[in-house]
Structure 1
C-alpha cells in the first residue's frame, strides 16, 4: 500500500524561522511510494529551498472563519479531551482560571485543525503525520488518529514545546493525556528523553533519540592574529537569549585587557535588536571593541560567515535551549564554544576545547570564561576536537537519513 506523509511546520518553507529544517529537508524524498506534503501554519515572505518533489499545502495558513471557530469551540467544550484535561489539571494541582481558559482554547484549536485536515486523509493509503513541534498541530494529529485507523503520528520536541517550567502558567496542555498516544516521540538530546519519562509519563519504548545535524565541511574557520579576539554569537534578540549579558561580559573583559582588539559579531534579529545595539554602543565606547549586528540571515549565510571570516570563539548565553544548531555549526568549523548548562548543551560541550557555564549565568561568568579560553581557542588541536565531535555525533547526512528511515 502506498503512503503519504504530512510534514507539519510552523512556517517552513516560508521565511520566519525554523532555519534548522533547512538542514533536514534535503534528505526527504517524495515519490510514488511516499508522497510528502508540508503543511505550514504561517506562510509569510518568500519560500526557501526544498526538494522539488515535495508538495506544500497552505490549507492551514488561511484565516479561520467565525463559523469554524464557533464549531470548534462547541465541539471542544463537550469533548472527551477537554474533560480529561480538566481532570489532569486537578490531579496536577494546577487548576485555575488561566489554565482552564488555555485548555479550552487549545482543545478548540486542535479540533478546528483536525477538521481542516480530515479531508486530506486518504483511506486507501497509510498516512504518516510528522509534527516538527509538539504543539497544536500534534494535538490535531492525535485527534485525527482517534477518528481514523490508518494514521500514525510522530512528533519531535525541542525546548518551548517540552519544558513546562519555561511557561508562564507552568503547564502545557495535553502533554500527559497524549503522552503515549504518539507512535513515537523523537528527542534531540538524552536529557529531553529523561524529562518526557519523568515529567509526563511517556514510556521509554515510545521515545527515540534523534539528534539534529549540520552539513560537514572540509575547512575550519581561520583564527585572528595575536592580541586580537573575534567573538561571534547567533540567536534571536529576545529576552530568553540574554544577549545583553554577552555585551556586558565583553565590555568587562576589554576593561581588564585593553591591549586586546576585540571584534564581536552578532547574527540574528528580533524585538530587542535596536536596544542591544544601543547598549553595545554605550558600553563599548572608548574601548578597543568593534561590534557588528548582521540581523537575520539564512542558514547558508551563517556557514558562509564562519568559512570566510576569522572566528576565535562562539558564545551562547541563553536561559533556555534544546540543542542549538548554531553551536553545532560553530563547532563544525572548529570554533570553541562558551555556553550555559541548559537543555542538551552539555552533551555538545563534552570536551576540553569548550567551556560549559552554570545554568544560571552572570556576565562575570562569561567574562571569566572568555579570559580562560582566550589563548586556547586558537589551538589547532582543540579546534579539530570541536569539529570531530560534530562530525561523529551531529552529522546531518547520518542523522537525518537514519531518522527518515522511520517513515519507510
Structure 2
C-alpha cells in the first residue's frame, strides 16, 4: 500500500476554490502517512488548513512562465507535439494548449529533479483535475522509468473537451493508473470516445449532512433560490424570464427570487430585473458571499425550489447542497445532473429547455407537495460526503 500522496490542485489549500477537497482531505489523512499538496497557483491559506504540508515549488516555477517558455522552445518534445496535433493545431486553442502542456513537463522535470525522494514507488500522484500536469507526470515517469503511480479525478471541462484544447488525451488515458470521473455520464463519455473502460472508476463527490430540513413557504408564497456565476453558460437570464412569466400568470402568488453569485452578466441582469414592474415579484441579488452564508440562508429561510439551468455541468455542488436540506430542484439534464434528480426530488428538463418548459416546471413545483425527507434520503444515497469520500480514499490507497 502506498504511503505517500502528492495532491496536485489548482489552488487548494489556498483561497476558496476546490471546496470538495475540504471534506475529502480528512479521509486522505487517515490512509496516507505523508501528504503534500502542490497547488498550481498561490493565494491565502484558508482557515483550518494551515497545518497541511504545502509545496509551493510548482506555483513558483509556474509563475516564471517566460523562463519556462524559453526552455520549452528548446525542447524537441514541443515540436513533436505540434506535429502530432497538426490537423487540429489551429482549431480553437490547441496550439496554446500544446505549448502549455510542454511547459508543465519542464516544470515537473525540475520538481522531481530537486526532490526525487518524493517520487518513489511508495508515492501516488493524485491530480484533482484531468489536465496538463497529468500528462507531464506520465511523460516524466515513462522517460526516466520511475515507479510512482498517477491518478486523477475528471469533472466537466476536463472530460467533455468543450474548448478542443486537450493534447495527448489518448496517451494519458492509456498510461495513467486510474481515472476517477465524478459522474456515470463522464465515465460513459470517456469510454465511448477513447475506450480503456477498465481505467475509469466512478467516484462521486458529496456534501456534508445537514441536520435541518428547509421549510416550504406558506400558501400563496413561492421562494426560489439560485446559486451560480452570472455567466452565459448558467442561463440565469432564462430563470429571470421564466419567473417573470410565472409571476404574471399567478398574480395571487408572492414570488421571491434570491440569487447568490456574481459574473459578467450581473449588471445587465440587475438592470433587466429592476425594469420589471410586477407587484407580486421581488428579486434579490446577494452577490458573492462565503459558502457558509449560503448554507445559513437555506437553513434559516423558507425555500420552495432550487433552479439550475446550465448548458454544461459535472455534478453541481449547489444542487447537492440544496438536496441535503430537502429542497426540490429544477435542472437541465446536462453532464451528471440527471443522475441525482428524479421525479421524487425535482424536475429534470431537457438540455435546452424553452421558456415555456421552465414556466411549466415552476407551475408543477408550486402545485406539488414534495416529501422533503425523501429528498434527503436520495441525497444520502448519492451525494453524502462521508460515504463517497471514504469509498474513494479506500480505492485510492489500495492502487498497486
**TM-score, normalised with respect to structure 1:** 0.89
State the alpha-carbon separation in 1 of the partners of residues 140 and 39 from structure 2: 17
Distance 1:214 1:2, change over 3 A: closer
1:338-365 per-residue CA deviation (whole Å, 9 max, x = no partner) reads 0001001111113333110011123332
2:134 aligned residue: 138
Distance 1:100 1:278, change over 3 A: closer
1:61 aligned residue: 59
> What is the root-mean-square deviation in Å for CA atoms of aligned residues?
2.3
1:245-264 → structure 2 map (5 Å cutoff): 245-264=238-257
Residues 1:215 and 2:233 are matched in the alignment: no
1:323 aligned residue: 315
2:344 aligned residue: 352
Distance 1:334 1:270, change over 3 A: same
Distance 1:191 1:98, change over 3 A: closer
The answer (yes or no) to whether the contact 1:15–1:48 under 8 Å persists in 2 is: no
1:47-100 per-residue CA deviation (whole Å, 9 max, x = no partner) reads 243383x3122222222153332112322xx11x7536743554xxx3536555
What are structure 1's unaligned runs of at least 5 residues? none
Please report how far the alpha carbon of residue 394 of structure 1 lies from its aligned counterpart in structure 2 after TM superposition.
1.4
1:4-403 → structure 2 map (5 Å cutoff): 4-29=4-29, 34-50=33-49, 52=51, 54-62=52-60, 63-64=63-64, 66-75=66-75, 78-79=76-77, 83=80, 86-87=83-84, 90=87, 94-96=88-90, 101-118=95-112, 119-122=114-117, 126-146=122-142, 147-164=144-161, 166-167=162-163, 170-201=164-195, 203-283=196-276, 285-376=277-368, 378-379=369-370, 381=371, 383-403=372-392
Question: Counterpart of 1:177 in 2: which secondary structure?
Answer: helix
Please report how far the alpha carbon of residue 200 of structure 1 lies from its aligned counterpart in structure 2 after TM superposition.
2.2
The answer (yes or no) to whether the contact 2:85–2:167 under 8 Å persists in 1 is: no
What are structure 2's unaligned runs of at least 5 residues? none
1:260-297 per-residue CA deviation (whole Å, 9 max, x = no partner) reads 111111112222223222222223x3331222222223
1:110-140 per-residue CA deviation (whole Å, 9 max, x = no partner) reads 2133124212341556221111111122222
